[in-house]
Amino acid sequence: MTIDTIKNELLGEKYYKINHPSGLTILVLTKPGYAGTSAMFSAKYGSIDTAIVDKNGDIRKIPEGTAHYLEHKLFESEDLDAFELFAKTGAYSNAFTSFDRTTYLFNCSANFKENLKILLNFVQSPYFTEQTVRKEQGIIGQEIRMYKDIPDWEIMFNLLSALFYEHPVKIDIAGTEESISRITADILYDCYNNFYNLNNMVLAVAGNVTLEDVLDVADKELKPSGGAPAKRVFVKESPVPIKKYVEEKLPVAVPQFLLGFKEDIKTPERSLKESLCTVLIHDVIMGRSSPLYKRMLEEELINNGFSDEFFSGFGYACCMFGGESKDPQRAADEIRKEIARVKKEGIDAASFERVRKKMYGGLVMEFNDVEAITQNLIDSYMDNTGLFDEIGICRSLTVDDVNERLQNILVDEYSALSVIIPVKGE
């Protein structure tokens, strides 16, 4: 076992990176005197992982939604539900599946070692039978149908379906009712053995805890696993969308829009510097202190619910802008016009520095929140970076870096607009 201490003198913070004999990477940042502790146990396995790649490079397809399905089933054992165990210790527990990972977590103010033991035990103890798998199909099928009635969810996946041809990011995280009907206990075990290999996972802990407490539980509870990190399939996509416009009617009070710009990517993942530059560009163009945001707000083209996101992961990248609007098409046109103007004129030094300082301040503030720290530790592992890399890059960014990035993204011919309009009579 090796333990590396990683420090940031400017922040006065440090964390430990442990390469555990079991194969698991463990990241720990201690916060003595803080009221609580947060822990996350995460597998590099999400909804975009719709295939298993074996050691020979052969690819075997698995049903869409299997990662989410497995997450649901893993909380159950032959005797007891993990939620019940956490309830007895007074901890808050949860789990989620995203596009690129599955995470199990708890937050507690006491009984840390007991809670960590529960977490490590149930995630390492799969129990699937054909009977319990079939029972879950109805539950998850109902969840899939429920999300079809949530405008924010529908508008995003409608946009992704307009932008992407083959990449599984366009498929609902829970899959489809047809795809989950093909999931069996054997498939769940195959996926578990491939993706829940400890070499493909990370444990992150932050808060009022000691390194010794974490390692004491880990040494006793972790079951050594062979193998290596799971491989992902890079699905190459044309940057040109399938369609430029998609519309759906739902019972909403006000129309909604989501404008997305697909990025022409040549490699599977974006660098941390590229991501930070993109987020900064978003803020300059349509942040709450930008001229366009203020003007559109005054004209009631948007409201305070407007948001933006740089949506990226393995094999996909997209800039998104959207919210409620009385005139979605005009709102989208105004954003497109501002993007064209900024790309032509470039981002000026004053605007860049204002937004960069704001970003830097936000990153510093996150070190006061143990849940944010734990999430950032997980993110850094998934991105093959360090916890302090983001704040270091933010400090060193220049206006030239940002303007160079600007010229490679937000291409109008690679964009699409998704709209939700009210059902008549609602």
**Which tens digit of pLDDT belongs to each residue from 343-352?**
999 999 999 9
Provide mean pLDDT across the span 295-311: 96
Supply the pLDDT for residue 425.
55
Question: 171 — alpha (psi -120 to 50), left (phi > 0) or beta?
Answer: beta
Binned at pLDDT 50, 70 and 90, residue 171 comes out as very high
Q: What is the mean pLDDT of the segment spanning 208-225?
A: 94
Task: Report the alpha-carbon angle 174-371-127, nearest 5.
Answer: 45
Q: 93 with 204: CB under 8 angstroms?
A: no
pLDDT digit string, tens, across residues 328-338: 999 999 999 99
pLDDT surpassing 90 at residue 136: no
Predicted confidence band at 78 (pLDDT cuts at 50, 70, 90)?
low
Specify the pLDDT at position 426. 44
Strand locations in 46-174 (E):
51-53, 59-61, 92-97, 102-108
Please state, in angstroms and rounded to a whole number, the distance separating the CA atoms of residues 6 and 386. 9
Give the mean pLDDT of 77-88.
80
Q: Which of 13, 64, 71, 76 is catalytic?
A: 71
% of the chain exceeding 90 in pLDDT: 87
Contact in structure between 43 and 201 (CB atoms under 8 Å): yes
Distance between CA atoms of residues 142 and 227, nearest Å: 36
Class of residue 1 by CB neighbours under 10 A (exposed 0-12, middle 13-18, buried 19+): exposed
- Please confirm, yes or no, whether 263 is among the known catalytic residues: no
Going by pLDDT thresholds of 50, 70 and 90, the confidence category of residue 225 is confident
User: Which residue blocks in 262-348 are alpha helix, DSSP H?
Assistant: 272-286, 291-298, 328-345
Angle between helices 112-123 and 211-221 (to 10 degrees): 30
Distance CA(82)–CA(88), nearest Å, equals: 10
| Average pLDDT taken over every residue of the chain | 94
245-422, what's its fold? Answer: Cytochrome Bc1 Complex; Chain A, domain 1 (3.30.830)
pLDDT band at residue 84 under the 50/70/90 scheme: confident
Distance CA 316, CA 284 (A): 23
145 phi/psi in degrees, rounded to 5: -65, -35
Range(s) of the chain covered by CATH 3.30.830.10:
2-221, 245-422
Longest distance between any two alpha carbons in the chain, whole Å: 65
pLDDT for the residue 80: 67
**Residue 77 — pLDDT band, cuts 50, 70, 90?**
low
pLDDT range class, residue 151, cuts 50, 70, 90: very high
Mean pLDDT of 192-218: 96
**pLDDT given at position 375:** 98
Whether residue 224 has pLDDT greater than 90: no
Q: What is the dihedral of CA 115, 119, 120, 122, to 10 degrees?
A: 130
Q: What is the mean pLDDT of residues 282-304?
A: 95
pLDDT given for residue 54 in this prediction: 84
pTM of the model as a whole:
0.94
Instruction: Find the angle CA(11)-CA(13)-CA(19) to the nearest 5 degrees.
Output: 140
In the structure, what pLDDT confidence band is assigned to residue 82 with cuts at 50, 70 and 90? Answer: confident
CATH code at 2-221: 3.30.830.10
What average pLDDT does range 126-151 have in this prediction? 89
